[in-house]
Amino acid sequence: MIFVAIDDTDNHEGGGTGRVARAIAAILREKWPVLGVSRHQLLVDPRVPYTSNNSCNVIHLAPTNPACVDRAALGRLVEPLLIERCLPGSDPGLCVGGRELAGNPFGVAVQTEVVSQAGAVAAAGAAGVFLRPLGGTGDGIIGALAGAILAAGGNDGRFVEVGRSREMEGVVSVPTLLDGGIAELRTLSGMPVTAGMVDTCGRLRPVLQRHRPVLLVEPGEPGAWRVVELGKPKPHRKEPACTP
């Protein structure tokens, strides 16, 4: 797996890094298989400049042999695609790396403390990954490197696009979800869900767990499931059998 991570492409008037990442993913898909695009939450702190939620996005490429892909060449290919989609006043950064980044402490550091560009450059140099500032202050390299690291770890963030996830709305069967790119459905307690109907609640945002897109669900209407809306506490309800 190769991770193309970007950050800080928007401004206070609009835009969205997720939208930019999905557009670039569509172009890269013409040459490489793309698993999806994930979003990773970074530190929200008054000392950190950001436009809305301070999150970065990562494109997950799945070439047959990642070792044969020239990371620097891939980075140079993505650079103009990213620059032309950034809004005025943004501070975009780009990082290209692989699973060798897993466990690098810089990723968690960006989620928990204020770090500097110099720290990002030093961490990228030590890891030997492609990292480029592409405009403005260049602060986006901090989130881009953190995103690549967090994605490489395989257990952080959620997918904003995977397979046909953005096409599936309303109430959808579990087999359809699995055929559409979701690797597994599971409850918060870890119970696998292998059959039944699922209310998508308007959007599918599977989490990244063990390098796979996992959709978390909870009991919904009688005999059905609904997607868990992360960040919103839910009242406890008894889980039905896995084949409602």
Average pLDDT over all residues of the chain: 90
- Tokens 């499931």 appear where? 225
pTM of whole model > 0.85?
yes
Predicted pLDDT at 237? 39
Cβ atoms of 143 and 56 closer than 8 Å: yes
Tokens representing 177 are: 């979800």
pLDDT > 60? residue 15: yes
> Taking residues 165-184, what's their average pLDDT?
96
pLDDT > 60? residue 243: no
List the beta bridge partners of residue 227. 217
Give me the percent of the chain exceeding a pLDDT of 90: 80
Every domain of the chain and the residues it spans: 2-158, 163-227
> Taking residues 22-28, what's their average pLDDT?
97
pLDDT > 50? residue 232: no
Q: How far apart are CA 167 and CA 78, in angstroms?
A: 26
The answer regarding whether domain 2-158 maps to CATH 3.30.70.100 reads no
**Residue 83, H or E segment:** helix 71-83
> Taking residues 113-135, what's their average pLDDT?
96
> Taking residues 207-230, what's their average pLDDT?
92
Predicted pLDDT at 174? 97
